[in-house]
């Protein structure tokens, strides 16, 4: 009976060794084929800087063309909550359509330039690999140069952050509501490129 018991102990030892080796190979395979996590730990950094481009599609009866450029300075407040200031400039062109220009013999165009300084809170969801959805909202004062007018807006929207190797890209859509004119609102569609931790990532 002793040889049999000894053989069984040896077999158990071989099985344990095999399972240990198999588990180790499995972990190595998971580590090898797991998608890389770009900018790991970057959401805990204090500051984030970037640039944003966007436009305002047609709204209302008039054809409104607007190209917007904003700078981004983002300060992390608590986990997943950031405060952003986005100073920017927008170039607009207003083209009345047939419904608004029936009394005019010739169609006309008007252009305008505005300075915007949005102050926005951004709340991010739990990051899933290299994609992270977020919502944002805040206050946006706008100064129009054509009539020297200061307009007050509230802004709210959502978007997605895409973590790249050394920077972060984002697509977002926002609704702007004029506080002075309840009937006036617009949709802003933007694309931004940002970097975490100042510019240190670009020096690596």
Task: Report pLDDT digits (tens) over 73-89.
Answer: 999 999 899 999 999 99
Query: What architecture is the 42-203 domain classified under in CATH?
Result: Beta Barrel (2.40)
Q: Which residue has the higher pLDDT, 163 or 22?
A: 163
Query: DSSP 3-state helix, strand, coil percentages of the chain (rounded to 5)?
Result: 20, 50, 30
Domain ranges of the chain: 1-34, 42-203
Binning pLDDT at 50, 70 and 90, where does residue 18 land? low
pLDDT tens, residue by residue, 162-184: 998 888 899 989 988 888 876 56
pLDDT tens, residue by residue, 98-110: 554 455 555 556 6
pLDDT tens, residue by residue, 27-72: 554 444 445 788 877 777 888 889 999 887 655 545 556 788 999 9
* Residue 3: predicted pLDDT: 52
Note whether 49 and 72 are within 8 A (CB): yes
What are the structure tokens assigned to 177, written together?
């509501």
Q: How far, in Å, CA of 46 to CA of 52, rounded?
A: 20
Binning pLDDT at 50, 70 and 90, where does residue 201 land? very low
- 3-class state of residue 39 by DSSP: coil
pLDDT tens, residue by residue, 126-147: 888 899 999 999 999 999 888 8
Q: How far, in Å, CA of 91 to CA of 172, rounded?
A: 20
* Residue 133: predicted pLDDT: 93
């Amino acid at each position: 009976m002793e040889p049999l018991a000894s053989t069984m102990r040896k077999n158990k030892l071989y099985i344990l060794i095999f399972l240990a080796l198999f588990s180790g190979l499995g972990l190595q395979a998971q580590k090898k084929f797991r998608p890389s996590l770009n900018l790991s730990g970057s959401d805990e950094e204090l500051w984030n800087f970037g640039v944003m481009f966007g436009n305002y599609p047609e709204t209302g009866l008039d054809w409104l063309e607007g190209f917007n450029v904003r700078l981004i300075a983002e300060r992390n407040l608590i986990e997943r909550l950031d405060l952003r200031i986005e100073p920017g400039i927008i170039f607009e062109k207003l083209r009345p359509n047939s419904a608004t220009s029936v009394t005019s013999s010739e169609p006309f165009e008007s252009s305008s330039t505005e300075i915007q300084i949005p102050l926005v809170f951004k709340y991010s969801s739990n990051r899933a690999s290299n994609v992270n959805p977020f919502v944002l909202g805040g206050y946006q004062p706008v100064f129009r140069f054509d009539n020297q007018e200061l307009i007050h807006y509230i802004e709210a929207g959502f978007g997605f952050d895409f973590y790249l190797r050394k920077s972060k890209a984002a697509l977002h859509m926002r609704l702007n509501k004029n506080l002075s004119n309840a009937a006036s609102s617009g949709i802003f569609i933007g694309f931004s490129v940002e970097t975490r931790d100042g510019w240190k990532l670009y020096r690596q």
